[in-house]
Amino acid sequence: MCDTPCSVDWRTTACCCVGANPLTHSCVQLHMRYQVLNHVAPGSEWSNYECCQGYIPACPPCFEPGRCGERDCPRSCMFLEAFCFPGLAISASRFVLMEQYHLRPDPCDNRMIRINNCLQLLSIICDIAAHFDRNLRDLAQLIDCAADLIFLAISGCMTAQMDHEMAYRTALEAGRPDTYASVATSEPAGPAGVVEGKIVTPLQVETMDR
């Protein structure tokens, strides 16, 4: 994910910059979800959309994916999802692609996400502490700024990674695998198993490090 913005074409770099812009972030994630859903199921439009694509468990009566008005106003719901829960919105789109192609996250991706999560948690702790000790307000604001910048940078990288993955898969299906470079590694398939009386060979698992 960290190599994607600078290692491929100008389109992916531009996608990273736009995805990291706080002014365009919500609109970009709305567009990316549409692209991902229609890449996985061509021509489906918004028919397969639901809030966070069902990856977040329901919390009735406040939040129930599939019952938040997605069928009537999918674009509005997706925009609100991206605006109110930007991290969940981009992760849900990424999970859809990872499930579709049996991808696992690159170890570097996991480290970047953990760093972001730790900074967000530290930001919350410092904000709370600053309410009790005014001397910590400057430190809290500094950490808030760092956490926001790191989040936006990772969001841009994730957006570029998804865009490049879809372009790579499209080129692969069209018989033009060299159009987009791939540096993904794969694991050998495991032993065959039996599912409902049929012999099934597990699919290879690739690392999402394009």
pLDDT of residue 192: 40
pLDDT of residue 205: 60
pLDDT of residue 178: 57
Whole-number Å distance between alpha carbons of 88 and 77: 14
Instruction: Give 3-state DSSP helix, strand, coil % of the chain, rounded to 5.
Output: 60, 10, 30
Peptide bond into 22 cis (omega under 30): no
pLDDT of residue 189: 42
Number of neighbours of residue 172 by Cβ within 10 angstroms: 15
Question: What do you get for the CA distance between the two ends of the chain, in Å?
Answer: 7
Show Cβ contacts of residue 165 under 8 Å, excluding neighbours closer than 6 positions: 97, 101, 103, 208, 210
- The stretches in the chain having pLDDT less than 50 are 182-203
**Tens digits of residue pLDDT in 96-109:** 999 999 998 888 88
82-106 in b/e burial notation, b at 16+ Cβ within 10 A? beebbbbbbbbbbbbbbeebebbbb
pLDDT of residue 210: 59
pLDDT of residue 182: 47
What are 208's strand-pairing partners? 105
* Exposed/middle/buried for residue 122 (C-beta within 10 Å: 0-12, 13-18, 19+): middle
pTM of the predicted structure, to 2 decimals:
0.80
Which residue's entry shows tokens 């996250």? Answer: 105
Longest dimension (CA), the chain: 68
**Tens digits of residue pLDDT in 166-206:** 988 988 888 765 555 544 444 444 444 443 444 433 445 66
